[in-house]
Amino acid sequence: MHLGRIAIQLHASAPLLFSRRATATALVLPHSRRAAFAMAATPPVARKVPRELAQHGDVRVDNYYWLRDDSRSHPDVLAHLRAENLYTATIMSDVKNLEDEIYAEIRARIKEDDIGAPLRKGQYYYYNRTLTGKEYVQHCRRLVPTDAPVTVYDVMPTGPNAPHEHIILDENVKAEGHDYYSIGAFKVSPNGKLVAYAQDTKGDEIYTVYVIDAESGKFVGQPLEGITSDIEWAGDDHLVYITMDTILRPDKVWLHMLESNQSDDICLYHEKDDMFSLGLQTSESKQYLFVESGSKNTSFIFYLDISKQSKELVVLTPCVYGIDTTASHRGNHFYIKRRSEEFYNSELIACPLDNVAETTVLLPHRESVKIQSFQLFENHIAVYERQNGLPKVTAYRLPATGEPIGQLQGGREIDFVDPAYDVEPEQSQFGSSVVRFHYSSMRTPPSVFDYDMDSGVSVLKKIDTVLGGFDASNYVTERKWAAASDGTQIPMTILYRKDRVNLDGSDPMLLYGYGSYEICIDPSFGRSRFSLVDRGFIYVIAHIRGGGEMGRKWYEDGKLLNKRNTFTDFIACAEHLIENKYCSKEKLCINGRSAGGLLMGAVLNMRPDLFKAAVAGVPFVDVLTTMLDPTIPLTTSEWEEWGDPRKEEYYYYMKSYSPVDNLKAQGYPNILVTAGLNDPRVMYSEPAKYVAKLRELKTDDNLLLFKCELGAGHFSKSGRFEKLREDAFTYAFILKALGMAPKAAL
């Protein structure tokens, strides 16, 4: 399903488009070049074209509405964006050497030639390989040389006597000639002979799907154009996929027979309610495919029996407002996670295939535990939950197929060692007793574990190598709590290098926040941030309301007419950190992307005195104007997240925090704003207008830089090293803003 204005990468900003060759050496410029430099060093001033926006008797004047160009091709708009990029490049040219130094540090931590943890599936091991100097991955496989069952000790053989490695797809080859390249789905057919992959070459998240022979790489049939990355196999000769309407809402699910024309495909379902979007999921048993239609608080499910010749959808759970369901299959039962207003943290139920109305509760609703998701196996179920703000995973043995099923008992809970961490499910094998999960913390590199659900034995299958002298024992992670204005305790995760900090209020800090869509920003590992932490920074994640870290109520208390809690929670965390000598106002920097960029804009208006610098990545800052316009992607589907401002109560509440609408003549800290021209989630014009208006109103002399990537979208550049450039640029800006960058002269 379309996820909304979501960006959960903790550090991302778009790379510069223009040369930054004026570096930290003194230059003597000819007169004409000095004049050109002086012009480039002058902040761009967007022209004013007043446009009145009236609603509920309230009139707002938007002087910069003209910056919105849906074609993304108007010469005046592009000229303004290029002028902003040139100004940013010029202002940042004195820290180009520092940026290069940080980039080299980050890249030096990466083992460039590496492979991921192989996954045994059918008769092959599947894995991704990265190569030295290459931006993208190779998708590979090897034959499994044994018929023995999958165990936690299973290892893919390598070396001269091992089965040959076959490269199914090399993204580096496919990316040639494209400024942007991303594969959103890579799905192997059930018989292992074909692969369907979804490709985006603009960053607009509109994909083309190709089917290839897994051995020869030859194309099978014609590509499917203009679809989402949500694709699934329905047997070996059919694909199911989803297309979008004019506002990029996934609204139709289609059945495609291989080697037929896309124009002949069958529409299985059309969701006409513009607050609902469609998504696909295949059961772990591979016997059923589920189509989910969901809004922000309601979802219902159809299923398709893949084994049947007639590919028709059947209702599994009906559409009932306020009830949200996800489903899978094992044996003669469907398993369903169901959330309602009464059971807000969800319950887990099962129902027979032949009588879906007859439900049995497997795990009841609990006020202190939120059921996040589950994975089914032939004889087990692994349940992913949250308790006290942290993930937990519990494995249960299930009765044999055909035996009565009842409430789950005697589960094995997996132990984790860090005080705060991130755990995510990985693809596992349905017929085995092994559940695979991904684990990391702020000081523990990304790791893949296989866990035997019968014996409780856990085996590390892969831990990412971190080069450059990284030693986890040098770093400390802490979990602290800040009191919000209403007394609510807000969790924070803290990282620092113990031999580089004083903890007396003198240390610089980067505080990150998000707080929307019930997304959990768990404290995962990030190589890039050590270039700050090793320079004495303290890095903190504020797990504020609007996210899902503390359960469903945590989300509901930070959305709609409670949205301001998100912002005041973040401010409370900042104040707590200052009061407890982790930092000071003079050294506190903040960062957020997308809906987290909204957070940045809101807190900067509310408490500009509290921060020294802010980075707002692809920020959702023109909330009221966007949410009043149903022609903009995501607007209709997000009225249940932010509110529908066509209703007066929501209009004035949203106006009270919308960053663009609350800019005023006051001092602001140093600010870096980024955007992507092809972004389908947050239109580039929102940050462009925000910066133009802020330039007009702010009363300080601090930095205000805007960088728009003209060849990418919401997630900016696609290459793995290109993304490192973004982090290096962001960190160079932060160090410059704090006066911690080496001085240079022009």
Catalytic residue ranges:
594, 679, 714
709 contacts: CB under 8 Å, gap ≥ 6: 14, 15, 17, 674, 675, 676, 677, 716, 717
- The answer to whether the beta carbons of residues 661 and 651 sit under 8 Å apart is no
* One-letter-per-residue 3-state SS of 625-671: HHHCCCCCCCCHHHHHHHCCCCCHHHHHHHHCCCCHHHCCCCCCCEE
**How far apart are the C-alpha atoms of 669 and 610, rounded to whole Å?**
9
SS3 377: coil
Here the tokens at position 463 are 């831990």
Residue 421 to residues 255, 345, 524, 541, 721: CA-CA distances in angstroms?
40, 21, 6, 12, 25
- The answer to whether the beta carbons of residues 491 and 523 sit under 8 Å apart is no
**How far apart are the C-alpha atoms of 558 and 548, rounded to whole Å?**
10
Q: Which among 367, 333, 368, 361 is positioned nearest to 347, based on CA atoms?
A: 361
Q: Which among 324, 334, 400, 332 is positioned nearest to 362, based on CA atoms?
A: 334
DSSP 213-282: ETTT--B-SPPEEEEEEEEEESSSSEEEEEEE-TT--EEEEEEEETTS-GGG-EEEEE---TT-EEEEEE
Rounded to 10 deg, the angle between the 96-108 and 720-737 helix axes is 130
Helix (H), strand (E) at residue 425:
strand 422-425
| DSSP, res 295 | -
409 contacts: CB under 8 Å, gap ≥ 6: 396
Q: Which among 393, 405, 385, 401 is positioned nearest to 453, based on CA atoms?
A: 393
- The answer to whether the beta carbons of residues 540 and 492 sit under 8 Å apart is yes
Here the tokens at position 685 are 């014009």
- The answer to whether the beta carbons of residues 112 and 132 sit under 8 Å apart is yes
**By CB neighbour count within 10 A (0-12 exposed, 13-18 middle, 19+ buried), where does 472 fall?**
middle
Q: Which among 559, 552, 562 is positioned nearest to 342, based on CA atoms?
A: 552
Residue 134 to residues 112, 130, 431, 624: CA-CA distances in angstroms?
8, 7, 36, 42
**How far apart are the C-alpha atoms of 126 and 163, rounded to whole Å?**
13
- The answer to whether the beta carbons of residues 673 and 691 sit under 8 Å apart is yes
Number of Cβ atoms within 10 Å of the Cβ of 412: 18
**How far apart are the C-alpha atoms of 276 and 299, rounded to whole Å?**
8
Residue 180 to residues 177, 620, 679, 711: CA-CA distances in angstroms?
9, 23, 13, 7
Phi, psi of 692 (to 5 degrees): -60, -45
- The answer to whether the beta carbons of residues 310 and 266 sit under 8 Å apart is no
